């Protein structure tokens, strides 16, 4: 088998992937037509073809290199380093499996189904507060909604949802090398503030009054089965994994439907399409276009030998649009039969997203509630995109909403 470091590969700089408004798709589409792999200058390899991406994500002899990448950029101590050292993303093997089990109940499919009425309640409240036809959707709905839900899941007061959301954004940025280079001070401050909040406010909750994940962890802390550092790391993993990602995916879902009005009409006319619409959004615009893996032993990557110690960046943005897997993969279509070609947005293998059921439920409820209220949705200005090198979200999404007509005295609170 050929070695990856002996292949004649296209070369790309990391800065070329710092696109906005979907421009990274143009760069990646050009690369994948040349070769299933590309070399990233001074860093490692970009894995583009679907089979190779899935192989990289499922490989056992790999680890997620969040902490080494942080240290490579000179951050070897402090609150951000402590956060990543204990995060689920930095663990592997039995330690990783054991920690995942501690939060599986709070994030699993059964809990997600139980929380659907709570999701609808928060969505209704947020949409009730929109009283004009034009709205900046990120700040009005997409950002506060998952922050409220993570407060419910963790067991934090709902009054703290706003700051939980703000902390989540900056702590998540520690996984983005471009954000880290520019905003290290803000990231450090958020990590330190959240750590203090967990220890001084959440861990001082009366166990008899605790709810959510906190109710699961406090008895283990009291019994000495789990120390404060490990418990704080688990809560921070849930916070970061469950706020910024859902916010970003929901914003892109609504953007895509606003840009494809015929698709929105289909959803309004047939609410049973909601799960398919969510699946298509997840496939078409993954908010984690790049997922890093570090090989811990020599690896066979779909017929290519990869030495130990090699950094691989698996690209879900290209894997999810593989023409060998999907019919018309570059078309956004919520009615398309995508067959058995499951998207890789939630990853694969040991680090498959533990909160996938919760994320799907939150997205489904959001589209269901919004389509029951809004007859027409369109852009009221240009969306402002975040960098795709970390969590690929939207900073702003200006919309114009036209509500359904009132029927039988039952109306909506949005105005058209």
Q: Which pLDDT tens digit goes with each residue over 135-169?
A: 999 999 999 999 999 999 999 999 999 999 999 98
Q: Within a domain: residue 414?
A: no
On whether the CB atoms of residues 21 and 257 are closer than 8 A, the answer is: no
3-state percent helix, strand, coil for the chain, nearest multiple of 5: 55, 10, 30
Confidence of residue 19 (pLDDT cuts 50, 70, 90): low
Q: Within a domain: residue 50?
A: yes
Q: Within a domain: residue 18?
A: yes
| Cβ burial, residue 233 (10 Å; 0-12/13-18/19+) | buried
Q: Within a domain: residue 327?
A: yes
Q: Within a domain: residue 416?
A: no
The boundaries of the domain holding residue 104 are 4-403
Give per-residue pLDDT as tens, 119-136. 999 999 999 999 999 999
Q: Within a domain: residue 409?
A: no
Question: Has residue 412 got a pLDDT over 70?
Answer: no
Q: Within a domain: residue 41?
A: yes
CATH at residue 231: 1.10.630.10
Average pLDDT over residues 183-196: 92
C-alpha 102/C-alpha 137 separation (Å) is 34
Question: Has residue 16 got a pLDDT over 80?
Answer: no
47: phi then psi, degrees, rounded to nearest 5: -100, 120
Domain count, the chain: 1
**Beta bridge partner(s), residue 140:** none
> What percent of the chain clears pLDDT 70, i.e. is strictly above it?
96
Residue 45's contacts (CB-CB under 8 Å, 6 or more residues apart) are 4, 9, 37, 38, 39, 306, 310, 311, 312, 313
Q: To 10 degrees, what angle do helices 212-222 and 228-242 make?
A: 170
What's residue 311's pLDDT? 94
Q: Within a domain: residue 11?
A: yes
Question: Has residue 38 got a pLDDT over 90?
Answer: yes
Question: Has residue 197 got a pLDDT over 90?
Answer: yes
C-alpha 217/C-alpha 215 separation (Å) is 6
Give per-residue pLDDT as tens, 224-245. 989 998 899 899 889 888 899 9
């Amino acid at each position: 088998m050929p070695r990856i470091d002996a292949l004649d590969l296209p070369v790309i700089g990391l800065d070329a992937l710092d696109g906005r408004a979907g421009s990274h798709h143009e760069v990646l589409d050009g690369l994948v037509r040349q070769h299933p792999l590309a070399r990233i200058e001074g860093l490692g390899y970009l894995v583009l073809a679907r089979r190779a991406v899935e192989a990289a994500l499922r490989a056992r002899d790999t680890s997620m290199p969040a902490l080494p990448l942080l240290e490579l950029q000179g951050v070897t101590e402090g609150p951000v380093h402590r956060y990543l050292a204990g995060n689920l993303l930095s663990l592997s093997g039995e330690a990783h499996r054991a920690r995942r089990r501690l939060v599986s109940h709070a994030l699993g499919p059964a809990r997600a189904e139980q929380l659907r009425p709570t999701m609808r309640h928060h969505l209704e409240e947020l949409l009730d507060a929109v009283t004009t036809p034009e709205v900046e959707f990120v700040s009005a709905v997409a950002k506060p909604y998952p922050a409220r839900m993570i407060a419910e899941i963790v067991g934090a007061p709902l009054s703290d949802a706003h700051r939980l959301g703000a902390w989540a954004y900056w702590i998540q940025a520690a996984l983005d090398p471009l954000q880290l280079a520019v905003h290290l001070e803000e990231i450090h401050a958020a990590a330190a503030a959240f750590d203090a909040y967990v220890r001084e406010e959440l861990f001082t909750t009366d166990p008899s009054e605790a709810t959510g994940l906190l109710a699961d962890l406090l008895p283990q802390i009291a019994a000495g089965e789990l120390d404060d550092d490990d418990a704080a790391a688990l809560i921070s993993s849930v916070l970061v994994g469950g706020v910024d990602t859902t916010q970003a995916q929901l914003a892109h879902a609504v953007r895509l439907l606003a840009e494809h009005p015929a698709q929105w009409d289909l959803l309004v006319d047939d609410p049973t399409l909601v799960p398919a619409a969510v699946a298509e959004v997840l496939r078409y615009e993954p908010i984690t276009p790049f997922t890093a893996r570090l090989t811990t032993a020599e690896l066979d990557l779909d017929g290519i030998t990869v030495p130990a110690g090699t950094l691989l960046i698996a690209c879900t943005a290209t894997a999810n649009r593989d023409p060998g897997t999907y019919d018309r993969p570059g078309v956004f279509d919520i009615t398309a039969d995508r067959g058995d070609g499951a998207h890789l947005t939630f990853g694969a293998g040991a680090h498959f997203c533990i909160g996938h059921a919760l994320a799907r439920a939150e997205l489904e409820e959001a589209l269901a509630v919004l389509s029951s209220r809004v007859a027409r949705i369109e852009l009221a200005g240009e969306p402002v995109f975040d960098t795709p090198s970390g969590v690929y979200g939207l900073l702003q999404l200006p919309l114009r909403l036209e509500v359904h007509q009132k029927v039988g005295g039952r109306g909506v609170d949005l105005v058209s």
